[in-house]
Each structure stands twice: as C-alpha cells, then as structure tokens.
Chain A
Amino acid sequence: MLQKKECVAMLLAGGQGSRLYNLTEKNAKPAVPFGGKYRIIDFTLSNCVNSGIDTVGVLTQYQPYVLNEYIGSGQPWDLDKTYGGVKILPPYQRANGAYWYKGTANAIYQNMGFIDRYDPDYVLILSGDHIYKMNYNNMLKFHKANNADCTIAVIDVPLSEASRFGIMNTNGDGSIYEFEEKPAKPKSTKASMGIYIFNAGILRKYLEEDDNDPSSSNDFGKNVIPKMLADGAKMYAYQFTGYWKDVGTVKSLWEANMDLTSDDPALDLRTPEMRILSRNSTRPPHFTGENAKIVNSLVTEGCEVYGTVINSVLFGGVKVAAGATVKDSVVFEETEIGEGSTVEYSILDCRIKTGKNCKIGEPKEADKGIALLGADMVIPDGTVIEGGVMTSKFEKEDK
C-alpha cells in the first residue's frame, strides 16, 4: 500500500556545468565541492529535508559516478526512507526507444512515472547549482494561499545585473504578467531562482503539450513558463530574501566560497536553523603548527597548516607546509601545498601535490583572473602558473 506524498521535489542535476571547466571534467556540477566540507547539492537537499519534503528525485545525466556515490542511500540527509527518500533518476530505455534528457522540462516529463508513484498534489522543481537556505514549505503555503497553478521563487538583484537573469514582471499581488529571459531593458529586478512549484495536474498537462511541440527546446524557462503565461495560467512570484548565489561559473563559485569567510557571513552555516547536512568524512581534527598563521579563512577536519592561510577556504585533509602561503584561494580535499610555495587567487581541485617553491596564480589585484588547477596533478618544484590559467596537465599520479 503506497502512501500519498503532498509534495515531491525534483532536483535537476544533469547539467554539464561547462563554465566550471576542469572542475566538472569528471564530475557533475551539483557534486562540485563547496564551502570546506560540502558539495553544491547539499544545500538543496538539506533545504528539502529542513522543509519537511522527504521525497526527492535527483535527475542525473552527465558524469554521475561521484554524485551517485555521494548521495548513496541518502543517509546523511535522513533521506533513507522506507517509502520516499532520495532517488537517483538517470534517463532509461522504454519500449518505444531510449532518449537522453533533452532539456529541463523533458527531464521531468520523462520521469512523470516516478512522480505518479507518490500521487503528489504539488511538484517542486529545483536546480542543483545554487547556494542558499530556504524553507520551501513557506513557498508552498504561499502557493496554496494564492490557489496558484505555478509559483516561481524570485530574488531582487541589482538593476544593473538584471539583464543576466530571467526577470519576472509582477502585479501588486505578486501575480506574474510577464516573463522576460535576459531582457536588455529590465522592467523589474525580480530574478527567477529556478525554483518552481506546480500543481501536479497542471505540470503534466503542460509537459505533455511541450513534448508534442517539435519546435520546443523543452526548457522550463524558455518554453513551459512563457506558454503557461500566454495561456493565462495563475502564476505567482514568491519573494525570497536572503543569501542566494548561482555558482555556475568559476568566478561566482570563488565568490560564494569567499562570502563564507567573513566574520559575519550573509549565509551563516553555524546557526542551528536550517542546518546544512553533508556526507561527513572520518578525518581527525585539524592541526595548526608552530608558525601557522590563519586569518579570515575556513579550515576543516584533516587539515594540517604549518604556513600562512589568508582569505581562503581549505577542504578536508589539505596540507599547507611551512613557509607556504595560500591567499584568496579555495583548495579542495587532500591537496598539498609544498614548502615555500605561494597560491594566490586560485581554485585548486582535489589531490593536487604542489612541489616546493611553486608560484600558482597571481595576486587578485593583478586582475589576471582565477587560476584553476584540475585534480590529481603533480606539480614539480619551482613551477610557475600564471593568473587566470586553467590547466589539468602535468603528469597525473597513478591511481
């Protein structure tokens, strides 16, 4: 006997994330490490759990191994449920053929069968590449109070940046009368956060229509939402106030990490409310050596710091040798910075071994951009890597 679920969440995690370059070479964007001990998807998964949503489908397509392994049974998020919980949904073969997910709307459409198993009244559509804490239940209450067909979460962005987003133009009561994708002259500053709540029946109707339209690119933002507006569906914008960051680019990923290092961070991970859950390592506590200096930085389990760390985020098991300096940088798990080496304005992927006296990246002020180093590289002593360089060459270590 299956129980009904009021709301099922569908988390779009299949994008390639090509603007993160070598960070997503072998890893789906939602599984990219973030904030010292998290992965990007932890934020949306934790938000679901903290909002009382215990059924989450994660739609994957691109490089899924790391993500699959990370999510596992869903135990770290209490999503290992007898009924419901977190389920990985890759594209699959049907009697009439096999198709990749063609777009966000098509990915959901192909999994209507999954949604039907829980007979939900509402479907929450999420994307796995944003950093924020949000109680979706409040949004659902708003959706129900308005008796809406679809509710879209929006956040105020500076007018100067509004033309980079999908902008919702709304009436006084929050109802949406117009949607403009990346408008040259934005009329409002309400940017879509890519979070939608649909009535399940309405969603099915529009996804079926979308699937039957050969000219559609099967995308929520480009096709489904404009079509619903054109049909006069009841659509509302749910105003979110709080920290929200799209981490789809190297720059924004870097910025979001840096935001956490402030003494009064806009996104406080330390408060017990809406705690962000993650798969924890079994590393020992971190150690700071005799001559260590750590300022405005995050350091976590397994790190050993003998050098200087300024305005940086160190992930689990990172070693900073004596005389080494890490500044304005993000260093992923198990990467080692050798004696006398300097890392500035860089993102270093996992398990890189940096030799002695290397110079990686250039000061932020030099304005050459962020240096981005791919995983598992062994960087010989004395290597110089200029600012803004993105590389995964050098000899890879035998695994």
Chain B
Amino acid sequence: MSVTGIIFSNIHDNNLPELTRMRTMASVPFGCRYRFIDFTLSNMVNSGVTSIGIITQTNYQSLADHIGTGKDWDLASRAGGIKLISPNITAFAQDSRIMNVTTRLESLKSATVYISRRTEDLVVLSDCDVICNVDFSDMIDFYEKTNSDITLAVKRMKLTADLAEKNVIIKSDEDGRVRDLLVYPRDVIGEHDISLNIMVMKREKLLDLIADASAHGYTSFNTDVLLKNINSYKITSYSYEGYFACVSSLSEYFTCSMELLDPAVRRALLDVKDRPIYTKVRNSPPTRYTEGSYVKNSLLADGCVIRGTVENSIIFRGVTVDKGAVIKNSIVMQDGYISKNCALNCAILDKNAVLKEGRVLSGHPTIPFYVPKNSII
C-alpha cells in the first residue's frame, strides 16, 4: 500500500523554550550535524515514504532554510517530495484565535486540502522531535496484519514524574489493543509505554476524523479523538525497541546529546545499516586538528579547527577552538568561536556564539549554562 507522511513541526516548542525562541522544534540542532526533523524525515525516506507534508505554524524560517528543495533527503521530486504546509490564514482573518493554532488537531484542520489531494492509501503522522531510528514499513506491516483502524508507536520507558507529565501513556492489552490513554498525567512514575506520537491510519480515515472533530469543535487529538473512540475503533500499539531520545526540557536535551558519546547509542541511532540519517549538506571541509590539540571522548562534525582541549563534548560544524581553550561536558553549535584560554563546563552554546579570550562558563547537567544564538560574551 502506498503511504504519505505528515510531520508536525511546532509540536512541543514550549518544551525547549531556549532553543525554540528563534526556530521550530523541528529545526533544533542535535548531534553535531543534525536537526530534530532529520530523524523523522530520514525514517520516512528509508521506509519508502517519499511524499511528505510538513505542517508549520510559527518561526519556520530556519526550517524552510534547512529543508530547501528537499534534495538532501532525495525528496526533490515531482511525484510527491516534500511540501511545507504553511498556516492557512485568509486575508479576512482578524481573529487571533484563528491564527493561534496550537494543537495537533488544529494543525491538521489547516492541512485538509493537502491531505485530501494526496492519492496514497495510508498516512503516517509523526512529530518532528521523535529522535529514533524506526522502520515505518515494519510498523505499517503490523497495522495491516492486525487489521487496525489506527496504530500508535510506543516505547517502554522508565518515567520520572517530570517526564510523565510531558508524555502520553498508552495502556494496551496483551495483543496490542489500546485500552486507555493517560494524557500528560501527574504523579505517575515507573515503567510505562509512552506514545512516540507516530500514528498510522488510512488517509480517508484521517480526513473523516478531522471533519468530525471540526464539526464538534474538538481541539485535542489524544483526548477528543483517540480516547473518545477507544472502544469503537481498533486502536493498536506498535512497540518500538530501538533507541529513543525523549527531549522535553533543556536538561534532557543535554543528557540525550551526551548519550551520543556512547558507541552503542550511535550505532542504534546514527549508524544503522541501510537506514542512514540524512541532513542538509553544508560542504564543510574535514575538521583540522593542529599541534597541541587534545580531544577525548567527543563527537565532532566537519569544518572545525581544534587547537585546544575538548573532552566529553559535542561539537557542531564549523566550530573553532583556539589554543588554551578547554571545553568539557559541553555542546557547541554551528560556527561557534571559542577564543584562547576560555573554559566551558556543562554549557550549551547556540549557533554563532563567540566567546572572547579567557571567558569561563560553567553550568550543571540539570541546569546547563545556555548561551543564545549569535551571542558575544
């Protein structure tokens, strides 16, 4: 069966207010050279989904810039390819409520024209911040084999109360039939299946759901659509066993980034055979290490010049680390410049940050020191 993809680009923006001030959740940089959306996009492409609509709402310049024509994902295609679905606001819309699309269901309403014009049988819907390497075709097989109306991808995780509050817990019976959803529950801890916010259903079904939700004035996909229909529809859960980074706060962003230093995590996420993660090509030259550089247990992208010390850190493309500078347990995003004798510990430097000579910044894994984009310190 043919499959089309829908990605929500602004979902969960408020989980990472620091990093999404100037960008969508979809275009948050991650793992030296990727953006969050690269994982979902690559998963789709690697599973043969080659027509993808990205629903945008606000702040999407950086996303549009990242996606370009889609050629870096082989999605510059006449038959489908990638489409940015911008907010559908008419010239008459003076009402800020119309312009303020906040939920998954509301964004879907604005994408009905796009969805109804597609010709594929199935649709896979995914959030932009699902950092995992999943084979959608396996999930779709499961959907078909179980004769489901809707299949949700879930991942078994050990939850803290903080993490539970930002996720949807799925309760299924043994054969995978979903029996209950706990939407952003309070005071839940322990091992649970959480929703990866990836869904598979028939495209026609999705259009019916949107029309129905629209007629009833529903706003939440989870509570108004899934939960209300939990007995009338066959909703199943597909269990994903691979690596998943659940980034719902800056400290988790920090923790998940550092997890990439573990070779097993890299193999499960970035280096899966036949399922590479694509990203925008930047044509950076290789990274140059000079005399006196000292780098250990770190992950580095291309285009850097390393003259100083880097330990347990994530260094993005085009970063310069000058002599005498010491970077430990930190994340330095694209084109950062760390001058001589600076010292960093548990810091996150957003793009183009410049540290002048001798600056010392230190945070803690729970509250990393965040330096906004284009800052000069």
User: Which chain A residues have a beta carbon within 8 Å of chain B's beta carbons?
Assistant: 35-37, 75-76, 260-261, 263, 269-270, 275-278, 280, 282-301, 304, 309, 313-314
Contacts and interface: CB of A to CB of B under 8 A. Distances in A.
B303 A270 contact: yes
A292 B296 contact: yes
B203 interface: no
Interface string B266-290: 1000110000111101011111111
A204 to B, nearest CB: 37
A289 B297 contact: yes
A75 B71 contact: yes
Query: Across chains A and B, which 5 residue pairs bring their CB atoms closest together, nearest first?
Result: A36-B286, A269-B285, A285-B32, A284-B270, A300-B286
B300 interface: yes
Given A261-B288, A300-B287, 6 more contacts: A263-B288, A270-B305, A287-B261, A288-B296, A294-B289, A295-B290
B4 to A, nearest CB: 23
B266 A287 contact: yes
Contact of B295 (A36, A275, A292, A314): A292
Interface string B251-268: 000000000010100100
Contact of A284 (B261, B266, B288, B292): B266
Contacts of A292: 295-296
A277 B283 contact: yes
Contacts of A277: 283
Contacts of B310: 288
15 contacts: A35-B286, A36-B285, A276-B285, A284-B270, A288-B297, A289-B297, A293-B294, A296-B290, A298-B286, A298-B288, A298-B289, A300-B287, A300-B302, A301-B302, A309-B289
Nearest to B261: A287
A284 B289 CA distance: 18
A279 to B, nearest CB: 9
B88 interface: no
Contact of B291 (A37, A263, A282): A263
B365 to A, nearest CB: 20
B276, B287, B299, B310: which has the most chain A beta carbons within 10 Å? B287
A272 B296 CA distance: 29
A288 B300 contact: yes
B307 interface: yes
Contacts of B284: 270
B293 A313 contact: no
Label chain A's interface by main secondary structure.
loop
B37 to A, nearest CB: 15
Contacts of B33: 284-285, 301
Nearest to A37: B286
Given A270-B305, A282-B276, A35 B285 contact: yes
Contacts of B19: none
A11 to B, nearest CB: 20
A309 B284 CA distance: 21
Contacts of A309: 289
B20 interface: no
Contacts of A300: 286-287, 302
A275 to B, nearest CB: 6
A263 B296 CA distance: 20
B222 interface: no
B287 A37 contact: no
B44 to A, nearest CB: 15
B58 interface: no
Contact of B283 (A278, A294, A298): A278
A301 B32 CA distance: 10
B31 interface: yes
A303 B72 CA distance: 21
Nearest to A284: B270
Nearest to A46: B283
Nearest to A263: B290
B298 interface: yes
B277 A284 contact: yes
Nearest to B42: A282
B301 interface: yes
Interface in B17-35: 31-33
Contact of A285 (B283, B296, B300): B300
Interface in B200-228: none
A21 B271 CA distance: 33
B299 A286 contact: yes
B288 A295 contact: no
A296 B287 contact: no
Contacts of B279: 282
Contacts of A297: 288-289
A269 B285 CA distance: 6
Nearest to B320: A270
A284 B294 CA distance: 21
A6 B201 CA distance: 54
Given A288-B295, A288-B297, A299-B289, A276 B303 contact: no
A25 to B, nearest CB: 25
Contacts of A75: 71
A289 B286 contact: no
Interface in B321-377: none
Contact of B285 (A270, A295, A314): A270
A276 to B, nearest CB: 7
Contact of B271 (A278, A284, A298): A284
Q: Max chain B CB contacts within 10 Å: which of A275, A282, A288?
A: A288
A299 B291 contact: no
B283 A295 contact: no
Nearest to A286: B300
Contacts of A314: 286
A298 B288 CA distance: 5
A291 B296 contact: yes
B295 A276 contact: no
A277 B277 CA distance: 20
Nearest to A304: B263
A37 B285 contact: yes
A254 to B, nearest CB: 16
A201 B255 CA distance: 66
Contacts of B292: 295
Given A288-B295, A296-B291, A263 B307 contact: yes
Interface in B37-74: 71
Contact of A276 (B263, B283, B306): B283
